[in-house]
Amino acid sequence: MALANKTAAAPSTNWKETLLPDEASLHAEHQLAFEEISKIKDAKYGKGRQLHRKGLLGLHGRFEVLSGLPDYARFGLFAAPATYDAWIRLSNGGMDRAADRKPDIRGFSMKILGLKGPGALGSGDTNCQDFLMIQRAAFGFATSKDFVDFVHSAALGPLSLFKYLFSKFGFLGGFRKLGQIAKALKIPFTGFATEKFYTATPFACGPYAARMRMLPATSTDVNANAQENWSSDFLAHLSKGDLQFEVQLQFYVDEASTPIEDATNEWPEAVAPFITVAVLTVPTQNPDSTEGSQLAADIEAAAFDPWNAFMEHRPLGEVMRARKVVYYQSQLGRKG
């Protein structure tokens, strides 16, 4: 059915996850690929994250869950109106500590603090709820294997990347794929205060399934030189007053429009409209003060992970299940 003819549908609890037959061993192989990436990149930069290595800012925020939410949203973190402290990490997505102006996927991670409830890993309570967002409504790869093979071959160098792309897509197809990736990366990015950010992948909301996005609510002035230094740009916005972002959810309606397992599909707003559930405030603060730099160091050392979540917000889909294995290993690697 053509999506153009569709209108908003009611959120449904009728979603399901479909596990690949060999998923556990596939995800264990990803761990090996990322261990190799760590060896190469840690030798160059010192220990750090395997992706989103370049942290730009670590800030504190306030996360306010709004009142009057519809019944289908009132689960886990969103069960009742409340205000929580939050940690925020802004990052460039690459494996390298590249110049800010280089095209990249950018990360806006939040950790909502001061919580207690059954955790998504099923091994006890969680004391925080993390949301990791990028500036894309959908992920660029349908499966974790596609992504990990791509990242792994890119880490080994341009020759490996070409070899991988040509063996997977054929000679012309390899060039086409490279062109698509370059084009996607070149979509202009105006700055962390002025862009929308998305989880791009789904998570549970009680018996429902949802994706999140965040709208820049208060800051609309785009700085033409922002790409030279994303951190300075964000702080320039912050120097004018607290920054507020609207936090929104959209809900699974059916497998055709809002698939759980294929992360490359943007969930169309016409069918699954976003509703505002919370407001994130980043108060004016000085990251160069003694407290500010200590906070930034603590945030850089912390683990932001979609599996740091309430069971009621359990990450969903194959890409999310792969992240459970890979992030944990990346966190262990940079601690040691």
Q: Residues 297 to 316: which contact ligand HEM by CB under 6 A?
A: 303-304
Nearer to ligand HEM, 72 or 304 (CB): 304
Residue whose C-beta lies closest to ligand HEM: 107
Least separation in angstroms between residue 318's CB and ligand HEM is 8
Q: CA angle 220-224-227, nearest 5°?
A: 100
- Between residues 25 and 80, which has the closer beta carbon with respect to ligand HEM? 25
Q: At which residue do the structure tokens 């590249």 appear?
A: 98
Q: CA of 228: how far to CAs of 76, 186, 235, 263, in Å?
A: 39, 15, 13, 31
Burial 183-205 (b: 16+ CB within 10 A, else e): eeeeeebbbbbbbbbbbbbbbbb
Is residue 49 involved in binding ligand HEM (CB under 6 A)? yes
- Cβ contact 73:100 at 8 Å: no
d(CA 87, CA 200): 20
Among 92, 201, 248, 258, binds ligand HEM (CB under 6 A): 201
Residue 248 engages ligand HEM in binding (rule: CB under 6 A): no
Nearer to ligand HEM among residue 212 and residue 278 (C-beta): 212
> Over the range 77-107, which residues count as b (16 or more CB within 10 Å of their CB) and which as e?
bbeeebebebbbbbbbbbbeeeebeebbbbb
**Could you tell me if 128 and 112 are in contact, meaning their C-beta atoms sit under 8 angstroms apart?**
yes
Size of the site for ligand HEM (CB under 6 A): 30
Q: For 58, phi and psi rounded to 5 degrees?
A: -125, 115
126 binds ligand HEM (CB under 6 A): no
Among residues 59, 110, 128, 148, the one that binds ligand HEM under rule CB under 6 A: 148
Instruction: Give SS3 for 216.
Output: strand
Residue in 139, 192, 234, 245 binding ligand HEM, rule: CB under 6 A: 139
Q: Considering only residues 11, 61, 107, 206, which one is a binding residue for ligand HEM as defined by CB under 6 A?
A: 107
Q: Binding of ligand HEM at residue 91 (CB under 6 A)?
A: yes
Which is nearer to ligand HEM, 148 or 235 (by Cβ)?
A: 148
Any contact of residue 250 with ligand HEM (CB under 6 A)?
no
Which of 41, 52, 211, 314 binds ligand HEM (CB under 6 A)? It is 52
The DSSP output letter for 286 is: -
Asked if 135 touches ligand HEM (CB under 6 A), the answer is no
Is position 51 an interface residue for ligand HEM (rule: CB under 6 A)?
Answer: yes
Check binding of 322 to ligand HEM (CB under 6 A).
yes
Q: By CB under 6 A, is residue 129 in contact with ligand HEM?
A: no
Closest distance between ligand HEM and the C-beta of residue 89, in Å? Answer: 4
In the chain, the amino acid numbered 72 is Y
Kindly state the DSSP code that residue 200 receives in the 8-state scheme.
Answer: -
| CB 142, min distance to ligand HEM, A | 10
Contact flag: residue 199 with ligand HEM (CB under 6 A): yes
* Contact call for residues 270 and 7 (beta carbons, < 8 A): yes
Amino acid at 331: Q
> Three-state SS for 248?
strand
Taking the least distance from each CB to ligand HEM, the nearer of 74 and 247 is 247
How far is residue 252 from each of residues 2, 209, 265, measured CA to CA in Å?
Answer: 17, 5, 12
CB of 175 to ligand HEM, least distance (A): 24
Residues that bind ligand HEM (CB under 6 A): 34, 49-52, 89, 91, 107, 109, 132-134, 139, 144, 147-148, 199-201, 263, 303-304, 319, 322-323, 326-327, 330-331, 334
